[in-house]
Structure 1
Amino acid sequence: MEQYQFGAAVLTKSDLILRDAELIASINQQQKAVVQMTMTTFDDELCKIIEPNVCPTSRRADVLMEMKRLGVPTVVWLSPFLPYINDSEENLRGLLGYCAEAGVKGIVFFGIGLTLRDGNREYFYSALDRHFGGLSQRYRKEFGSAYEIVSPNHSRLMAVFNEFCDKYGIIHDINACFGYLNELPEKYEQLTLF
């Protein structure tokens, strides 16, 4: 990609991307490279429960800071927000603080909640029973077999999110975020067939 001057967009939740940080920075100098990082939970201990076997959020924030240092633009995906687990203002503000400090270009955010398909719903409820005793019963009672699970805190937290992003100049309209990811730099010359 670097040799032939292609751009790149990488979406990860791993700090292993730091192995290629200098290469990504070089690609970004020639064309455009964007590192996208998924973040869900500000509290690292809770993160280890919700997202086992990946690096904690604080380490992902370190990745964003390193990309900032190298001049590589970043986009954060905030997802999922689980009702009664990480759907708090404290959690959201903590994650947004990381984003502001790292100077992220945009945040892709589909709202406060999650989706549950048949099959993964059973797995999710089983995990709730293992880690948050009794919470699966509350989900069953409140959400039934709904595909889209919207947090009771959705409206209030979306207002916090929108106000924060406006204040810090962070792109937060989903279409605008995807538009940014698909934008080619001015120096890019489209090849033609003729």
Structure 2
Amino acid sequence: MDEIRRSPIKGRGAVSNATGRFERETRVLTDDGWTGYAESGNEALSDPVRTTVSPASAKSIVTANQSPDIPFDRSVNPYQGCEHACIYCFARPTHAYLGLSPGLDFETKLFAKRNAAELLAKELRAKSYVCQPLALGANTDPYQPIERTEGITRRVLEVCRDFNQPVSIITKSALVLRDLDILAPMAAQGLASVAVSVTTLDRDLARTMEPRASTPPRRLEAIRALSEAGVPVAVLASPMIPALNDHELEAILEAAAGAGATAANYILLRLPLEIASLFEEWLRVHAPNRADRVLSLMRQSRDGALYRSGFGTRMKGSGPYAELLRHRFKLACRKHGLGGRSWQLDCSRFRVPPAVGDQLSLL
């Protein structure tokens, strides 16, 4: 039987629910003649896909990494999966470890680490703990829509505040402004910074590429409000996608600098594992006239492949196109006074507060 191609689903990024790489079988949609899909114009496949949130039984919350091209070595991620539904999200393949699809499952079957704050406090109290800045949201966005009701990120920030634990947040959501009452006092002590991802200034492109994230104007408003409150803000013009949003690089940096960002970075689109086929599928549906050009330039920037995972080149690529993008970024940063993203926060203030029931010091 011929496979049925899914139609775009409103408010979702992935077009399909491709089987994860660890599964023994591959599941596809076909019309066996009983459902009437062919006669209905595929409408039955466009029914709303609902978001579900399940508790994640986390046993630890601080994740360490030794990647030489990442400016932090430990992070906290309150959620698995992300409802922002960004089609390019490099975290999508992690859902395969759960026996789920990196496609629609990643953005609809979410897991909340509701004991994250308690676990963090326990880990920070350990005698072996050595204070280093924490990156909050290095994998999935800590301010995705379900944070409004779950409140896990806020509770994690409260723990960081109580311990004077330096924290840097990575987000593309204006919901970060909800926690200015915590972030601003921490920033005044050199304990907090925020990096806001602005992928495009085109609202139509954003609506299809990252459908449930804050709109580009709202992200710029968030940069402005954070800056005015004294919180250091960087803009992440990421990912840059050849022939799709790369022409906006200078405009994004100019707009962010005008809103108060003082640092910037960018990443060339990464397509590891299942993301390559998911992104190509998205391109063929949403930008069919550009798809071949985008993929050709990606291969030119990845030594003939859609992705190379080697440290040092995976973030920026190689070849003439990648070099031109790098040069454009440097010139724009120089023009608008944007430095490199700094993670130099003050670790000297870290202290372990008394726990409930502890005897108070006589000193």
Give the TM bin, normalised by the shorter chain: 0.7 to 0.9
Deviations 1:87-145 (A, max 9, x none): 11xx11221112211232311223xx312223211111110111012443445556364
Change (3 A) 1:151 1:96: farther
**1 or 2 for the larger relative contact order (CA 8 Å, sep ≥6)?**
1
Q: How far apart are the structure 2 equivalents of 1:64 and 1:183? A: 19
Asked if structure 2 preserves the Cα contact closer than 8 Å seen for 1:117 and 1:147, the reply is yes
Q: How far apart are the structure 2 equivalents of 1:139 and 1:68? A: 35
Moved more, 17-26 or 138-147: 138-147
Asked if structure 2 preserves the Cα contact closer than 8 Å seen for 1:87 and 1:151, the reply is no
SS of 2:196 mapped into structure 1? strand
1:152, CA displacement in angstroms?
Answer: 6.8
Q: How far apart are the structure 2 equivalents of 1:56 and 1:65? A: 15
1:20, CA displacement in angstroms?
Answer: 0.6
1:153, CA displacement in angstroms?
Answer: 4.8
- Give the structure-2-normalised TM-score: 0.45
1:161 aligns with 2:329: yes
Q: How far apart are the structure 2 equivalents of 1:58 and 1:150? A: 32
Asked if structure 1 preserves the Cα contact closer than 8 Å seen for 2:164 and 2:350, the reply is no
Q: How far apart are the structure 2 equivalents of 1:26 and 1:4? A: 13
Deviations 1:161-180 (A, max 9, x none): 212212333213xxxx3xx2
1:55, CA displacement in angstroms?
Answer: 0.8
Asked if structure 1 preserves the Cα contact closer than 8 Å seen for 2:201 and 2:217, the reply is yes
Across the aligned residues of Structure 1 and Structure 2, the Cα RMSD in angstroms comes to 2.5
User: Match for 1:165: what amino acid?
Assistant: C
Q: 1:20 aligns with which of 161, 174, 179?
A: 179
Asked if structure 1 preserves the Cα contact closer than 8 Å seen for 2:241 and 2:294, the reply is no
User: Match for 1:124: what amino acid?
Assistant: F
Q: How far apart are the structure 2 equivalents of 1:118 and 1:135? A: 22
Q: How far apart are the structure 1 equivalents of 2:319 and 2:202? A: 19
Aligned residues: 179
1:78 aligns with 2:246: no
1:100 aligns with 2:261: no
Q: How far apart are the structure 1 equivalents of 2:266 and 2:270? A: 13
1:6, CA displacement in angstroms?
Answer: 2.6
| Correspondence list, 1:49-88, <5 A | 49-88=208-247
Asked if structure 2 preserves the Cα contact closer than 8 Å seen for 1:36 and 1:75, the reply is yes
1:156, CA displacement in angstroms?
Answer: 3.8
Return 5+ residue gaps in structure 1 as ranges: none
Q: 2:307 aligns with which of 133, 141, 147?
A: 147
User: Match for 1:121: what amino acid?
Assistant: A
Q: How far apart are the structure 1 equivalents of 2:164 and 2:262? A: 22
Alignment match, 1:116: 271
Larger Rg: 2
Moved more, 114-123 or 151-160: 151-160
Deviations 1:2-53 (A, max 9, x none): 2333322111111111111122101112342101111111112211121111
Moved more, 154-163 or 37-46: 154-163
- Give the structure-1-normalised TM-score: 0.79
Q: How far apart are the structure 2 equivalents of 1:137 and 1:156? A: 20
Return 5+ residue gaps in structure 2 as ranges: 1-159, 309-316, 352-363
Identity across matched positions, percent = 26
Q: How far apart are the structure 1 equivalents of 2:324 and 2:258? A: 23
